[in-house]
Amino acid sequence: MAELTYLQAISDGLRTEMRRDKRVFVIGEDVGVYGGAFKVTLGFQEEFGHWRVMDAPLAETAIVGACTGAAMMGLRPVAEMQFADFISCAWDHLVTVAAKQRYRAGTPVPITVRLPSGGGFSGGPFHSQNPESSFAHIPGLKCVCPATPEDAKGLLISAIEDPNPVLYFEHKHLYRRIKGEVPEERYTVPLGKARTHREGSDISLITWGAMVYTAEEAAKQLDDDGVSVEIIDLRTVMPWDKTAVLESARKTSKVLVLHEDTRTGGFGAEIAATVAEEAFEDLDAPVRRIAAPDTPVPFSPPLEKAFIPQVEDVTKGLRELAEY
């Protein structure tokens, strides 16, 4: 085991697969000579060469289009968008072609698209989004949202192995803030399998990504009130672990869903609807959601703090559920 930051774990997982499988290559803006905007691929071009660590022009459409063709020819490309927001430029290649190719012709399209996402650093409306729900809605795409360094490595390896296009949302605010023990050997974490981040008996809090830590801080405050909060980290929002969520909901009878994405049409709505449909008779309160308001992400630090769900927002929601 080695203690790695979230960023180091992502880099380690990518390097592990590139050393193991020569079909894996990296392409993106500044991933080569510069080592990536956040230095995930620092030193990769020196080790693997220019043909496996390719600097691309400012053209996300070209990057994802090239990856789609390369994947259909048997390679395993890993594309980096400098920020998750920029994936919208490649919507057509990703959604119209890559996501549907296996359904249409049976052709595997093993693309992994790394998407630095999320706010918390005053990046403004073009560098801070969490657009996972937009893509979770598209049949043929998988969406991964790791919260821990251990999961970051294992889920990335699983994403690269998968025969389908996988969007890998890595939260920028976790890059150098979170550290954890990570196995040095190669391992995988299965897509679609949630983990229990914290055991509890009174309220189930369902979340993913950076919000796992916001949830954890809020849950600790509820301990002082004698309220036991269970935290389920989905890990992947598509596929998502419906079984784990329903088991937790039936165990506690109260559910709060938390995510950093905006509220309307966010993936939390899908979870809330499923719990209401399939575990209604086990509930002692309506399912509650806490999410960002339906606005672009503000640039101003005080406004961004008001936009992103904070510990006090979650604590308030948990207390209201506990008292219901």
Q: Which residues are catalytic?
A: 127
> 303: which 2 tokens?
């406004």
Three-state SS letters, the chain: CEEEEHHHHHHHHHHHHHHHCCCEEEEECCCCCCCCCCCCCCCHHHHHCCCCEEECCCCHHHHHHHHHHHHHCCCEEEEECCCHHHHHHHHHHHHHHHHHHHHHHCCCCCCEEEEEECCCCCCCCCCCCCCHHHHHCCCCCEEECCCCHHHHHHHHHHHHHCCCCEEEEEEHHHCCCCEEEECCCCCCCCCCCCEEEECCCCEEEEECCCHHHHHHHHHHHHHCCCCCEEEEECCEEECCCHHHHHHHHHHHCCEEEEEEEECCCCHHHHHHHHHHHHCHHHCCCCCEEEEECCCCCCCCHHHHHHHCCCHHHHHHHHHHHHHC
Instruction: Give burial (CB, 10 Å; 0-12/13-18/19+) of 219.
Output: buried
The span from the CA of 137 to the CA of 216, in Å, is: 28
Contacting residues for 223 by C-beta, under 8 A, at least 6 apart = none
